[in-house]
Every structure is written in structure tokens, then in C-alpha cells.
């Protein structure tokens, strides 16, 4: 074996072997539990980022944990067609050649997208493999493959027939760059600086004017009323009159509506029902005409006065402000902060726009979905996310599902020339279903469905629905959904609604919501900030120049490049070393505290790479001492030392804890416990304790066998325990360790996860080992603080040892000599005169190291003083507690007794140390 752990030489080979041998396929044991996680399907043409890597680590850890427990375990693989996102990428490629999708036409364009999918579709699944993800690739699905498209049609038709999908002319969020409607969720509003313009609108009868305020002057071309509050005394006599809309010349009414806020501005609002959501509602209430004044590009259309036609909305704005000013109607302009809605993909300012769209009537679907969380059929982890869920679900709006793009599931609806709608699987079906004459001409709806429509079916469509497949039967409802909070509304809520509607059962029983991955400074990772880290670069390493090049290429704002380059060179002067998948995964796990964001720093990953190295070298040591030697696996004739019994006992506790943590989704606690057990207990103490047993001749063959056997068996358990978090290194090492533990099997992946054996818990051994540790650490502290060379063997005198102490000493003499590096040990009674020494206490027993020639008097006094003052202040705290009658009377007896014991111990230790101090001082 190499002396240093090198992840690159082991990871890929094991993954290939696992996949080739079909280990990722779910089991079919009828007596076993079923466990299933659906991967949140990444964009088929996307690449893996840190968020994926984190999420995949959690899912794979759960999957491997359950697989090892013998469950029939399925991690469903697949990708999403990601309608708008993918279409945009391909359109951008076309644009580079000076073409648009319209130049190609619909069919040719879609073919082009499929080509692109073919070409780049494998990269994210390849990267998932690099993360060690044990997905069932055999049954990988794609949201636009045949089966899933069938499911989409079936759901659409069913909902339409039931009246839960309808088509209607409504105000929608319109993206003027992409030329499509967006759902509310796809619109991101951010505060921007703008202006508030005040315009005077003259009354038609010439009796005066009203001043209205607006942030969007160009919409005045579409005004169909001015509104005031019904109780507003200033305008009482104007309600019912009309004004003549400047520039347009339209006569529009002054209406009263209590939506208007009297306090804001002048208390008068211009109403543009076709271009504002509030105005739209008011327009409906008052039956106002709706003047659409914009084209699909957000230019002024032919409804408006000729002068403005064809102008971009912002150009028109300037013109209108200018023209009104000329007319003396611009009353005021103020700076104003306002929320500007932008499309999440295109970034363009979204327009409320009147169009025909398809909607899902959501309220009837939402109620059961709310109930499912309320009654506990579905549980959020951490729990508090249910609040967010309820808040949204209780205010949910109908879902606009049609998109005016080409890449996606085309809506299965046909129209005749009169605009009648026929919804069916295909045209022939439609004719049959609606008994249409062949002569009737039908044309299919041009729109496609929102990507999230097909994602909403993911938990059952991937398992074969609408067919009644065995997989569907076996794995629905799935066990847990692992996802980020950002798609609770987009995806989680909709899966619940559709799952309940079409499967009559929740799609998953638990929802584990994880945090966001941030960079070492706690910043969100984003390409534009130039702080993204590619998981693959952490795994394989990357040199500085490549990293700089990667971070600065393809920026939306190229002027950021210099700044990004500088920051990158500063943070990673030597690039990033190859840290391996296992270290990255372990780091993610250890950071996965409930609901918090993950701050990822390469230092931390390096620390866990060191942990891998630790396990690697511990294994080397174990192999060195056990290969070709008698480990007593087939031989009951072993004698177990204190150390053996102790480490086995500790192991049982750790196993039980790790199970608990996994079941509570506390990967951080599981990781921490495993780390501490391996490093502190197994390596720092147990391996060191074994050394004298294995090396000294006076230990019997039985004792040596006991040690070898324990070394191997505990290590083998450690590897299995860690496997869900660190699949590669554990497999590599297990292959060599398992045979020594008498286990012959192909892979650790399919081994049983360790189960705690309570009969091996040995409280007496734990207590005795604690005594031993105190002894050893006492000597070490004196050695270190008195500047005694680590190699120098020390004489020790034990005073005031109880029978217990003596017995324990006898039992463990070899351990003590070895770990504390002793030369000799002598017992003296309490009454004996001890030589001047440095002292450590183990309970009541004094461990004395004679001063002669070794220890500096002043240093020893300083050391004693320090300990004395520490003890003193602790003792004071405890005694004042005990002096408080309230405490003694009211606190539970056990607590009081414990406190009394502590006080006694401290008092005794204190007097011992004080005595010692006096002695030394007197020298």
C-alpha cells in the first residue's frame, strides 16, 4: 500500500466496478422494507454545481445507509428538459451565427435542441457518478421521453375534462424578450430607483383637474379611468364626472374604489386595466374597457396615438413625459424606489399583458395538499418549513401553465376555425372523442407546458405511471424528498398536489430541506461574482491559471474579470489541490446541520482529506500487524485486554449514535462522531495501546490474538460505518481488511450496516480506561510543561493508591509504561516521605515524578499555582451553590449529591496540591 492516501488512484475504478456489477439496482426482497428517493432532476444540459454536489451527497448517504441495511433501495435517476433554460442556450448558439429560432422553424429548431441534449446531456450524469452517487442508471428517465410525455398528456386531459384546467384571457406576466408568459414564481421583483411622475388630468367639463401619480407614464395611453377613495372628501363632487385623457383624447370616468389609499400621493390613481394587476382587478369590478397598448416586444402598438406607435416602452415613456410637460400637465417628478419585476431567465422587465393562456385551477388541488402536511402524512425536516409551505398554499393563485416557447410538451389541445377547443392525446383521438367530422379542420395549440408541469409528476411518472408497473407498486409513495427551500413552491407543493390527485397518496413521507452552499466568506456562489467552485475541481484539483480562466470566461459583465482574477489569485495562490470525492462528501455531511446554509472552505475539505489519510494509515498499520498472522478469527482462544474491551464497548455506543443521527437527518453529528471515534479513540488511544501487546514478548499468544482480532474487527466496522459518507476509500480499504476479519464478499456496498451489540458495552472497562487516560495524561502534562524531552523515560512514584488503583495499575502496567514512557514505578504509602516531585492527581492517587535533575522548581510552582487557582474558583462556585438553601431544598437530590461529590473531590485535590506547593516552595 502507498504510504499516503491518493484519492485519484481509487475513486474512478471503484465506481466503474460498482456500476458494471449492477449494485445500484434496487433489491426485490419481498420481506425487506422499500426505500426510495427521487433525484430532483437536474437540467439535462446543465453541469454539476456545489448545490447539486451537496444535495447528492445527502441523498447518496441515505441511499447507501438504507441499502446496507438490506432495504430494497432505489435512487431514481433522471434529468429535466428545463424548457426555457435549455431553449435559451440553443437560441444563444443560433444567435452566434446570426440566426433566430424563427429562421429555422419549429421542427428544425426542436431537432437542434435534441442534438444539443444528445451532445451535452451526459455531462451532468457523468459528474454525478464522480460524486459517487449510486443511482439506478438502468432506469434513468428524462421528462420528455415517451413514457413521461404520456403521463403529461394523461394528466392534462384528465384535469381538463374535470374542469381543473381551463383556457382564458387574463393578465399574465409577459417576458418581452422571450415572448412567453411566466408563472408568478418565475418573476423576481427587486427594488430599483425610479421616479414618481405627477400628471394633471383635466376634467372634461373644464371645471378643473385631477393630479395622478405614476411610476409608469407610458401606460397612461391605456388608461380607462381615474380612481379615488369613496370616502375622500376632496373628490366627492368629482366622482361620476369624466376627464379627457391628455395625448389620447379619450373621455374616461372618475370612479370610487376603496382600494385607493387616500394617504398616498394625491389620492388619485390612474387605472390601466390591461397593464397592471391591481388595475385589472379594479377594471373587472367596474366593468372598464381594457386597452392593450403594447406589442409582444413591449413596444407601443396601434391602439395608441400614431406618434408613439412602434416605440419601445421606455422611449415612449420619455416622449410622453416630454409631451405632457409641453402641455403644462407635468405637475411634479419625484425620486422613487419601486419594485421592478424581472423574468428569472431573461432578466428583462416583465409586463403585465393580456393574453390567452392555460391555467390550472389550483384551489381544489391545494386543499388536500395542505391537509397532508397538517395531518402529518408529510413531514418537513426541519419542521419549521411547514410554515412557509402553508403560507404559500393558503394564498395560492391559479397556475399559468402555457408557455409560448417550442421546447417542451406541446399542449394536447386542438382548435377548429371557430375557436372551439378539443383536448385529447392526439388529433385522431380528439376527433374520436368529440365525434368530429373528418372535414373539420383542426390545428394544434402552439404552446408548450411549463417545465414544472412534468416535474410535478416526477415521483410517479418515473416509476411507470400511468402503467401499473411493479416499480410503481413497490416504491410509491417514496421515502423522502431531499431538496432546497428555493423550489418548495415550484416543485414540492405541485408534486404533493398532483401525487394526491392521481395516486391518492402523498408522493413522499418526508421532505428534507437543506441549506444553500456558500463560499468561504459566506457569499452566495454565482458566476457573476466569480466565486463559484466546481465540485470536480475540488475532487481532481485545478491549477491557478485554469481556475482563473474558468472563472473569468463567459461573464455577463466582462468588466468584472479583472476583479475576479485578483480575488482568485489571492485566495488560491497555488490553485486547489486534488482533495478527492470522499473528503468533499464528508465535509458536506459534517456541515449539513439542520436547515443552515453551508459555508464551504477548501481548508475544511483539506482537513477531511487528512481524515481520509488517517484512516488510510491506520489501515496500513493494522494490515502490517495482522496480514499473515493469527487474528484468531476462527479461534475462540483469544484474551481481550482492557483496551480491547474498551474499544469494542465504545464502538457499540458509536454505532447506536450513528443510527440515531442518520434517522434524524443529522449528518453533521454522525460525521462528527465518526471522526472523533476514528481519530481520538481508535487511532490515538487504541492503536497506541495495542503496540506493547503486539511487540512485547511477555504477552501471550492469546493476548496478541485478542489484540489483532480487535484491531481488524473494529476497523472493519469503522469502514462500514463510514461507507455512506465516504464510499470510495472505505471500499478500497475494506477489500483488504474484510478477509482478515473473516468476511468474504465482493463489495462493502452490499454489506450489512453495523448494528450495536449491547452485550459488548462494558462500563467497567470504560471507567478503567478513563483512569488509565488520566494517569497517562497527567504524566504527559508534567513532561510537556516541565520541558522534559519526549523520549526520556521517567521514574514515577505512586502515593496514596487505593486497592482499586493498585489493581488497575497491575492490570495495565504495560500500557502505562508504554504510553507515559516510564522508567520505573514505585508505590509509597501516604505516611511515607515522598521526595520533592512534580505531581499529577488521578482521583485520590498522587502520581509523583521526582524533581532531581529533571524539573525546574519555578516552573513546577507556576504549574501548581495555575491548577490551584483553577480548582479554587471552581470549588467556590460549587460551594456557593451548596450554601444556597434554595438549591439544596429544591434541586433534585441526584443533582445535589453530584454537586457535593464534586465539591469533595475538588477540596481533596486542592489540599493535595497545596501541600505539594508548600513542599516545593520550601526547597
What residues numbered 603-622 form the site for RNA, per CB under 7 A? Answer: 603-604, 607, 609-610, 612-614, 617-618, 620-621
- Cell numbers 444553500 correspond to what residue? 516
How many chain residues bind RNA (CB under 7 A)?
94
Residues 754-783 that bind RNA (CB under 7 A): 777, 780-781, 783
In the complex with RNA, the residue whose CB is nearer, 416 or 785, is 785
* Closest distance to RNA from the beta carbon of 893 (Å): 10
For residue 115, how many other CB atoms are within 10 A of its CB? 11
For residue 698, how many other CB atoms are within 10 A of its CB? 8
- Cell numbers 372535414 correspond to what residue? 439
Residues 630-669 that bind RNA (CB under 7 A): 668-669
- Decide if residue 270 touches RNA (CB under 7 A): yes
* Closest distance to RNA from the beta carbon of 139 (Å): 33
Euclidean distance between CA atoms 642 and 772, whole angstroms: 10
Whether the CB-CB separation of 411 and 448 falls below 8 Å is answered with yes
Residues 86-125 that bind RNA (CB under 7 A): none
User: CB under 8 Å to 846, separation ≥6 — which residues?
Assistant: 798, 799, 800, 834, 839, 840, 912, 916
In the complex with RNA, the residue whose CB is nearer, 29 or 610, is 610
* Closest distance to RNA from the beta carbon of 105 (Å): 36
User: Which among 64, 20, 15 has a CA at the least distance from the CA of 751?
Assistant: 64
Q: Which stretch binds RNA (CB under 7 A): 78-86, 409-417, 710-718, 890-898?
A: 890-898
Euclidean distance between CA atoms 233 and 223, whole angstroms: 24
Binding mask 891-920 for RNA (x = CB under 7 A): xx--x--x---x------------------
- Decide if residue 868 touches RNA (CB under 7 A): no
* Closest distance to RNA from the beta carbon of 463 (Å): 30
In DSSP notation, 344-370 reads TTT-PBPEEEEEEEEEE--HHHHHHHH
Q: Which stretch binds RNA (CB under 7 A): 29-37, 137-145, 262-270, 743-751?
A: 262-270
Whether the CB-CB separation of 686 and 643 falls below 8 Å is answered with yes
- Could you say which of 31, 146, 263, 634 contacts RNA (CB under 7 A)? 263
Helix then strand count (H, E) for the chain reads 31, 28
In DSSP notation, 427-446 reads HHHHHHHHT--TTS--EE--
In the complex with RNA, the residue whose CB is nearer, 100 or 884, is 884
* Closest distance to RNA from the beta carbon of 905 (Å): 9
For residue 322, how many other CB atoms are within 10 A of its CB? 12
Euclidean distance between CA atoms 401 and 165, whole angstroms: 9
Residues 525-584 that bind RNA (CB under 7 A): none
- Decide if residue 334 touches RNA (CB under 7 A): no
For residue 273, how many other CB atoms are within 10 A of its CB? 27
- Decide if residue 437 touches RNA (CB under 7 A): no
In the complex with RNA, the residue whose CB is nearer, 472 or 600, is 600
What residues pair up with 39 in beta bridges, in sequence order?
none
Euclidean distance between CA atoms 856 and 876, whole angstroms: 30
- Decide if residue 215 touches RNA (CB under 7 A): yes
* Torsion angle, alpha carbons of 52, 53, 54, 58, to 10: 100
In the complex with RNA, the residue whose CB is nearer, 563 or 870, is 870
Whether the CB-CB separation of 41 and 115 falls below 8 Å is answered with no
Residues 146-205 that bind RNA (CB under 7 A): 184-185, 189, 196
* Closest distance to RNA from the beta carbon of 234 (Å): 12
- Cell numbers 492517587 correspond to what residue? 845
- Decide if residue 82 touches RNA (CB under 7 A): no
* Closest distance to RNA from the beta carbon of 901 (Å): 10
For residue 378, how many other CB atoms are within 10 A of its CB? 24
Whether the CB-CB separation of 600 and 520 falls below 8 Å is answered with yes
In the complex with RNA, the residue whose CB is nearer, 411 or 712, is 712
Residues 481-500 that bind RNA (CB under 7 A): 486, 489
- Could you say which of 4, 559, 831, 833 contacts RNA (CB under 7 A)? 4
Helices 727-737, 701-722: axis angle to 10 degrees equals: 150
Euclidean distance between CA atoms 133 and 60, whole angstroms: 6
In the complex with RNA, the residue whose CB is nearer, 552 or 601, is 601
Residues 375-414 that bind RNA (CB under 7 A): 384, 387-388, 391-392, 395
In the complex with RNA, the residue whose CB is nearer, 407 or 588, is 588
- Convert 460-476 to b/e letters by CB count within 10 Å (16 or more is b): bbbbbbbeeeebbebbb
Residues 448-477 that bind RNA (CB under 7 A): none
Residues 220-259 that bind RNA (CB under 7 A): 259
* Closest distance to RNA from the beta carbon of 71 (Å): 26
In the complex with RNA, the residue whose CB is nearer, 269 or 511, is 269
Residues 358-377 that bind RNA (CB under 7 A): none
In the complex with RNA, the residue whose CB is nearer, 215 or 552, is 215
- Decide if residue 861 touches RNA (CB under 7 A): no
* Closest distance to RNA from the beta carbon of 150 (Å): 32
In the complex with RNA, the residue whose CB is nearer, 99 or 870, is 870
- Decide if residue 206 touches RNA (CB under 7 A): no
In the complex with RNA, the residue whose CB is nearer, 61 or 135, is 61
* Closest distance to RNA from the beta carbon of 607 (Å): 3
SS3 content of the chain, % helix, strand, coil (to 5): 50, 20, 30
- Decide if residue 278 touches RNA (CB under 7 A): yes
Residues 499-518 that bind RNA (CB under 7 A): none
Whether the CB-CB separation of 507 and 459 falls below 8 Å is answered with yes
In the complex with RNA, the residue whose CB is nearer, 45 or 878, is 878
Cell numbers placing 154: 394523461
Q: Which stretch binds RNA (CB under 7 A): 35-43, 91-99, 412-420, 675-683?
A: 675-683
- Could you say which of 140, 565, 785, 836 contacts RNA (CB under 7 A)? 785
* Closest distance to RNA from the beta carbon of 819 (Å): 8
Whether the CB-CB separation of 3 and 624 falls below 8 Å is answered with no
- Could you say which of 525, 683, 825, 851 contacts RNA (CB under 7 A)? 683
Whether the CB-CB separation of 141 and 40 falls below 8 Å is answered with no
In the complex with RNA, the residue whose CB is nearer, 21 or 234, is 234
User: CB under 8 Å to 90, separation ≥6 — which residues?
Assistant: 101, 109, 112, 113, 116, 407
Euclidean distance between CA atoms 614 and 607, whole angstroms: 10
In the complex with RNA, the residue whose CB is nearer, 156 or 775, is 775
- Could you say which of 114, 434, 827, 887 contacts RNA (CB under 7 A)? 887
| E strand spans, 843-920 | 845-850
In the complex with RNA, the residue whose CB is nearer, 591 or 710, is 591
In the complex with RNA, the residue whose CB is nearer, 697 or 744, is 697
In the complex with RNA, the residue whose CB is nearer, 118 or 526, is 526
The answer for 574, left when phi > 0, alpha when psi is -120 to 50, beta otherwise, is: alpha
HSE-CB of 588 using CA atoms within 13 angstroms: 28
* Closest distance to RNA from the beta carbon of 84 (Å): 17
Euclidean distance between CA atoms 704 and 373, whole angstroms: 57
* Closest distance to RNA from the beta carbon of 886 (Å): 3
Whether the CB-CB separation of 851 and 857 falls below 8 Å is answered with yes
User: CB under 8 Å to 895, separation ≥6 — which residues?
Assistant: none
- Could you say which of 333, 676, 764, 793 contacts RNA (CB under 7 A)? 676
Residues 685-744 that bind RNA (CB under 7 A): 687-688, 691, 695
Amino acid at each position: 500500500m502507498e504510504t499516503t492516501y491518493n484519492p485519484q488512484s481509487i475513486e474512478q475504478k471503484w465506481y466503474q466496478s460498482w456500476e458494471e456489477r449492477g449494485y445500484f439496482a434496487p433489491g426485490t426482497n419481498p420481506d425487506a422494507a422499500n426505500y426510495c428517493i427521487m433525484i430532483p432532476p437536474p437540467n439535462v444540459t446543465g453541469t454539476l454545481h456545489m448545490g447539486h454536489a451537496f444535495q447528492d451527497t445527502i441523498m447518496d448517504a441515505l441511499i447507501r445507509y438504507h441499502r446496507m441495511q438490506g432495504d430494497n433501495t432505489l435512487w431514481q435517476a433522471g434529468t429535466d428538459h428545463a424548457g426555457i433554460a435549455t431553449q435559451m442556450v440553443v437560441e444563444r448558439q443560433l444567435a452566434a451565427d446570426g440566426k433566430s429560432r424563427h429562421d429555422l422553424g419549429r421542427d428544425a429548431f426542436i431537432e437542434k435542441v435534441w442534438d444539443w441534449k444528445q451532445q451535452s446531456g451526459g455531462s451532468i450524469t457523468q459528474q454525478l457518478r464522480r460524486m459517487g452517487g449510486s443511482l439506478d442508471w438502468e432506469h434513468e428517465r428524462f421528462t420528455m421521453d415517451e413514457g413521461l410525455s404520456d403521463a403529461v398528456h394523461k394528466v392534462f386531459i384528465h384535469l381538463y375534462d374535470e374542469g381543473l384546467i381551463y383556457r382564458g384571457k387574463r393578465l399574465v406576466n409577459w417576458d418581452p424578450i422571450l415572448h412567453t408568459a411566466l408563472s408568478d414564481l418565475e418573476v423576481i421583483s427587486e427594488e430599483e430607483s425610479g421616479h414618481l411622475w405627477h400628471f394633471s388630468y383635466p376634467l372634461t367639463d373644464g371645471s378643473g383637474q385631477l393630479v395622478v401619480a405614476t411610476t409608469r407614464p407610458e401606460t397612461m395611453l391605456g388608461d380607462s379611468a381615474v380612481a379615488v377613495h369613496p370616502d375622500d372628501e376632496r373628490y366627492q363632487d368629482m366622482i361620476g364626472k369624466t376627464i379627457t385623457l391628455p395625448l389620447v383624447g379619450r373621455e374616461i370616468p372618475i370612479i370610487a374604489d376603496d382600494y385607493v389609499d387616500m394617504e398616498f400621493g394625491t389620492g388619485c390613481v390612474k387605472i390601466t386595466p390591461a397593464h397592471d394587476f391591481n388595475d385589472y382587478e379594479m377594471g373587472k369590478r367596474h366593468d372598464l374597457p381594457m386597452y392593450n397598448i403594447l406589442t409582444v416586444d413591449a413596444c407601443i402598438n396601434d391602439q395608441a396615438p400614431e406618434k408613439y406607435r412602434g416605440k419601445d416602452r421606455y422611449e415612449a415613456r420619455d416622449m410622453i413625459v416630454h409631451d405632457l410637460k409641453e402641455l403644462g400637465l407635468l405637475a411634479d417628478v419625484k425620486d422613487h424606489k419601486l419594485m421592478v419585476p424581472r423574468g428569472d431567465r431573461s432578466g428583462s422587465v416583465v409586463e403585465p399583458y393580456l393574453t390567452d393562456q392555460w391555467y390550472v385551477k389550483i384551489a381544489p388541488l391545494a386543499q388536500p395538499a395542505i391537509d397532508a402536511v397538517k395531518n402529518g402524512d408529510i413531514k418537513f425536516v426541519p419542521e419549521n418549513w411547514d410554515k412557509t409551505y402553508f403560507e404559500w398554499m393558503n394564498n395560492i393563485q391559479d397556475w399559468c401553465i402555457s408557455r409560448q416557447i417550442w421546447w417542451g410538451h406541446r399542449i394536447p389541445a386542438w382548435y377548429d376555425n371557430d375557436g372551439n377547443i378539443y383536448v385529447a392525446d392526439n388529433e385522431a383521438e380528439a376527433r374520436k372523442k368529440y365525434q368530429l367530422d373528418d372535414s373539420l379542420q383542426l390545428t394544434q395549440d402552439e404552446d408548450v407546458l411549463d417545465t414544472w408541469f412534468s416535474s410535478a409528476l416526477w415521483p410517479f411518472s418515473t416509476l411507470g405511471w400511468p402503467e401499473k408497473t411493479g416499480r410503481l407498486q413497490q416504491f410509491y409513495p417514496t421515502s423522502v424528498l431531499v431538496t432546497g427551500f428555493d423550489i418548495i413552491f415550484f416543485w414540492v407543493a405541485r408534486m404533493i398536489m398532483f401525487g394526491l390527485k392521481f395516486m391518492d397518496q402523498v408522493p413522499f413521507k418526508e421532505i428534507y430541506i437543506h441549506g444553500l452552499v456558500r463560499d468561504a466568506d459566506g457569499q452566495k456562489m454565482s458566476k457573476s461574482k466569480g466565486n463559484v467552485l466546481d465540485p470536480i475541481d475540488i475532487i481532481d484539483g485545478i491549477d491557478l491559471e485554469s481556475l482563473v480562466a474558468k472563472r473569468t470566461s463567459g461573464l455577463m459583465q466582462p468588466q468584472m474579470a479583472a476583479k475576479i482574477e485578483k480575488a482568485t489569485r489571492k485566495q488560491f495562490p497555488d490553485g486547489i489541490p486534488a482533495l478527492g470525492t470522499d473528503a468533499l462528501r464528508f465535509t458536506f455531511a459534517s456541515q449539513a446541520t439542520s436547515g443552515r446554509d453551508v459555508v464551504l472552505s477548501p481548508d475544511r475539505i483539506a482537513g477531511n482529506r487528512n481524515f481520509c489519510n488517517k484512516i488510510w494509515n491506520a489501515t496500513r498499520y493494522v494490515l502490517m500487524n495482522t496480514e499473515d498472522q493469527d487474528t484468531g478469527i476462527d479461534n475462540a482462544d483469544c484474551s481481550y485486554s482492557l483496551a480491547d474491551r474498551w474499544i469494542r464497548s465504545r464502538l457499540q455506543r458509536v454505532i447506536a449514535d450513528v443510527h440515531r443521527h442518520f434517522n434524524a437527518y443529522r449528518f453533521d453529528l454522525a460525521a462528527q462522531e465518526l471522526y472523533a471515534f476514528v481519530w481520538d479513540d481508535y487511532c490515538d488511544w487504541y492503536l497506541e495501546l495495542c503496540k506493547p501487546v503486539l511487540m512485547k514478548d511477555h504477552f501471550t499468544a492469546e493476548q496478541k490474538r485478542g489484540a489483532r482480532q480487535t484491531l481488524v474487527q473494529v476497523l472493519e466496522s469503522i469502514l462500514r460505518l463510514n461507507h455512506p459518507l465516504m464510499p470510495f476509500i472505505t471500499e478500497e480499504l475494506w477489500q483488504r481488511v474484510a478477509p482478515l476479519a473473516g468476511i468474504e464478499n465482493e463489495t462493502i456496498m452490499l454489506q450489512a450496516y453495523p448494528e450495536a451489540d449491547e452485550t459488548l458495552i462494558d462500563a467497567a472497562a470504560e471507567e478503567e480506561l478513563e483512569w488509565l487516560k488520566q494517569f497517562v495524561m497527567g504524566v504527559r502534562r508534567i513532561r510537556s510543561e516541565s520541558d522534559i524531552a519526549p523520549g526520556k523515560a521517567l521514574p514515577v512514584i505512586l502515593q496514596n493508591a487505593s486497592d482499586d488503583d493498585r489493581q488497575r495499575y497491575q492490570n495495565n502496567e504495560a500500557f502505562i509504561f508504554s504510553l507515559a514512557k516510564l522508567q520505573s514505578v514505585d508505590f509509597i504509602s501516604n505516611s511515607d516521605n515522598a521526595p520533592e516531585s512534580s505531581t499529577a492527581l488521578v482521583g485520590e492517587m498522587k502520581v509523583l515524578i521526582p524533581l532531581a535533575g529533571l524539573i525546574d522548581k519555578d516552573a513546577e510552582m507556576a504549574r501548581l499555582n495555575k491548577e490551584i487557582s483553577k480548582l479554587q474558583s471552581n470549588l467556590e462556585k460549587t460551594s456557593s451553590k451548596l450554601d444556597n438553601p434554595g438549591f439544596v431544598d429544591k434541586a433534585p437530590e441526584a443533582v445535589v449529591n453530584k454537586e457535593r461529590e464534586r465539591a469533595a473531590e475538588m477540596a481533596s485535590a486542592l489540599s493535595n496540591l497545596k501541600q505539594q506547593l508548600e513542599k516545593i516552595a520550601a526547597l
